[in-house]
Amino acid sequence: MSQEAKEIKPVVAITEEAARELNIYLEKQGKPGAGLRVFVSAGGCSGLSYGMVPEDKSNDDDYVIVQYGAKLIVDKSSMPFIAGSLIDFQSDKLMGGGFVVKNPNAISTCGCGESFKTA
């Protein structure tokens, strides 16, 4: 009896559009092989804030997710707060747009969408 391969969902995912925008951004920054470190820190009006920075290398205990040719890096301590999240890109003609986190763990968010609260 053979077992069928099961699709493994990444702990954090990125949309195809966000991956394309990330790769364009990293190319412009002169870091085409880098990834986007996504992390959570204390602060913001809802208690926790998202952070994103270009990162050239990952640590041994980081989660590294590659989708659509883009690399996401999430540290071990941030993962419980953002597991299951989707990184997307929103175009906003007025504000310029940017990367957003669609987080199923957030029970409330602030108006700007950069801070959140979990249960």
Q: What domains, with CATH codes, occur in the chain?
A: 12-118 (2.60.300.12)
pLDDT at 21: 95
Residue with tokens 């640590």: 59
Quickly state the pLDDT bin for 6 (edges 50, 70, 90): very low
pLDDT digits (tens, 9 = 90+) for 43-59: 766 678 888 999 999 99
Residue with tokens 């669609």: 102
Residue 26 three-state SS: helix
pLDDT digits (tens, 9 = 90+) for 84-104: 999 999 887 666 678 888 888
Cα separation, 115 vs 110, whole angstroms: 6
Backbone φ, ψ for residue 29 (5° rounding): -80, -5
Q: The pTM is what?
A: 0.79
For residue 16, what are its two tokens? 């195809």
- Per the DSSP assignment, residues forming a β-bridge with 32 are none
Q: Are 102 and 82 in contact (CB under 8 A)?
A: no
Sign of CA dihedral 12, 79, 36, 33: negative
- Per the DSSP assignment, residues forming a β-bridge with 88 are 100
Pairing outcome for strands 70-74 and 63-67: antiparallel
